[in-house]
Structures are given as C-alpha cells and as structure tokens.
Amino acid sequence: MPVDEGLRSELQKAGVFIASVETIYNWSRRSSVWPLQFGLACCAIEMIATACSRFDLARFGAEVFRPSPRQADLMIVAGTVTKKMAPQVVRLFNQMPEPKYVIAMGACAISGGPFKQGYNVLKGIDRFIPVDVHIPGCPPRPEALLNALMFLQRQIDNQHLTGVNKVRWYDDTDPAEYPIPRFGAHDLEPPFNRAVWHPQKIQRGAA
C-alpha cells in the first residue's frame, strides 16, 4: 500500500523511515546482484573486461563473481550455447537458488547469431530457460552489459511480491526447475522446451 508522501517526509524529519517490505526486498536485491562466473565464448572476454579496471562493474554492486551457481543470483549467458553445452547450462540454472535472473549476452545467446546455421549450435538459450534481459551485439560492448545490468535493476525495482503479477518464485504454478535436455542420436531431445519457448507461426500467402 503506498504511503502518503507528506506523512513520509514528516516522519523522516523525526528519524522514522517507512517503506514497504517490497521496497526493502527489491532495494537489497538490486544492490547486490552476484553474477555467476560463467563464460562460454567471446562475450565472456567482454564480461571480464567489464569487471576489470576501465569499466568497473563494482560500481553497480555486481562485481562479486561467484564460481558456484549456489551462491549466484544472475546468470550471464555470455556466448554461443552449443547443443553439447546446453544441458549443462540448464543444469547450472537449476542449481541456482531463487530469486535468479538471466541475461542473454550477445547475438549467439539470443538466437544463435552468426553461427545459427551450425549443426551443433543452439538457436537461443531462451529455448530452454526464461531470459530477463537480452543484449544484442557480437560481442556487446562492456557499456552494453552495464546498461543491461541497470535495466535488470529497474526490472527488479518493479517486482511484486504479492498479487497477480507476483514474481515467478512465489508463484506455485511456475516450475522451480526446468527439464534438462538429453543427447539424442541427431539432436537434443527435446530440441526445445515447449513450456518456455513458443515458435512464431508464419502466415504466408494463401496458407
């Protein structure tokens, strides 16, 4: 419930700060997003460059790269996801504790990018796991990753803990884990998760 602005400022003068649980929750989430130290390909180098001296990801409270998925909040899918790697990516995502966010960094993670025609390239990680922010580019510049992080922080600010639009980890109908694809004789089985990814239908001509 929104608090009256006048009342709030009056109380602040007396040293009393009022905020909803939601605000505190979102503020603390957004200020310490710990990414998973997880590089796949070329974009990972730009991710490291973002964390290094010139771009300094620490300014946004996200410099603590955790090698273990169990300590991380944010998975930056930085690079091409191949079919051989896809089950491991989904498994890592499942191992991350909620709340968890995913940034698909670069054209390959979004759609397969320049390697889309490859027989071993997954055409976008959103075939298997839900993605919060997509960053285009091949590779995206470090500034783009910073922008994506700020975008994610704005998304976190607008999270709701209750109500119709509540976050997915408080929604009982949402799965906490996503099925891991298996290696098949010709392709991954299944090639995509029907619950997450819906291929666009084409309407063309008479058909």
Partner 1 sequence: MKLDLITQNFPTTKWDEATQSLIVPHTDLLNVVDFIKNNPGFEMDYVSNVSGVDWLPKKEKVKAADGTETEVDKPGFLEVVYHFYSMKNRTGPITLRCRTENRENPIVPSITPLYRGAEFQEREIYDLYGVRFSGHPDLRRILMWDEFQDFPMRKDYQEPDDYEWEPTPHDEVLEKAKHHYSSDAAKS
Partner 2 sequence: MIQPITETIEIGGSEQPLYGPRSYQVLSGNDLGSQLLEISMGPHHPSTHGVFRMDVVLDGEEVVKLKPVFGYLHRNHEKIAENASYLASMPYTDRLDYFCSMTNNWAYAHAVEKLAGIKVPERAEYMRVILAELTRLVNHTALVGFLVNDLGALGTPLIYAFRERENILDVFEALSGARMMCNYMRFGGVRVDFTPDILKRITHIVDRYPSFLAEFEKLLVGNDIIMSRCQGVGVLTKELAIASSVTGPMLRASGVDYDIRKVDKYGIYDRFDFRVPLGDHGDVYDRLMIRFLEMHESLKILRQALKQFPQGGEHINPEVKLRNFRPKAGEAYGRIESPKGELGFYLISTGGNLPYRYRVRPPSLINLTILEDMCLGEKVADVIIILGSVDIVLGEVDR
* Element at 153 (helix H, strand E): helix 142-157
Question: Looking at beta carbons only, is 26 or 82 nearer to partner 1?
Answer: 82
Q: Is 206 in the site for partner 1 (CB under 8 A)?
A: no
| H or E element that contains 146 | helix 142-157
- Residues contacting partner 1: total by CB under 8 A: 18
Q: Which does 11 bind (CB under 5 to 8 A by kind): partner 2, partner 1, none?
A: none
Q: Which of 84, 154, 160, 166 binds partner 1 (CB under 8 A)?
A: 84
Which stretch in 41-49, 64-72, 135-143, 197-205 sits in contact with partner 1 by CB under 8 A? 197-205
26's tokens: 């979102």
Tell me which of partner 2, partner 1, none is bound by residue 26, counting a contact when its beta carbon lies within the kind-specific cut-off of 5 to 8 angstroms.
Answer: none
Whether 169 and 99 have beta carbons less than 8 Å apart is answered as yes
Question: Out of 97, 120, 177, 195, which residue is the one contacting partner 1 (CB under 8 A)?
Answer: 120
DSSP state of 73: S
Question: Measured from the CB atom, is 8 or 141 closer to partner 2?
Answer: 141
The DSSP line for 32-44 is T--BB--B-SHHH
| Rounded-to-integer distance, Cα 90 and Cα 73, Å | 15
Residue 88 sits in the site that holds partner 1 (CB under 8 A): no
As a whole number of angstroms, the distance between CA 26 and CA 33 comes to: 11
Which stretches of the chain bind partner 1, using CB under 8 A? 83-84, 111, 119-120, 123-124, 183-187, 191-192, 199-202
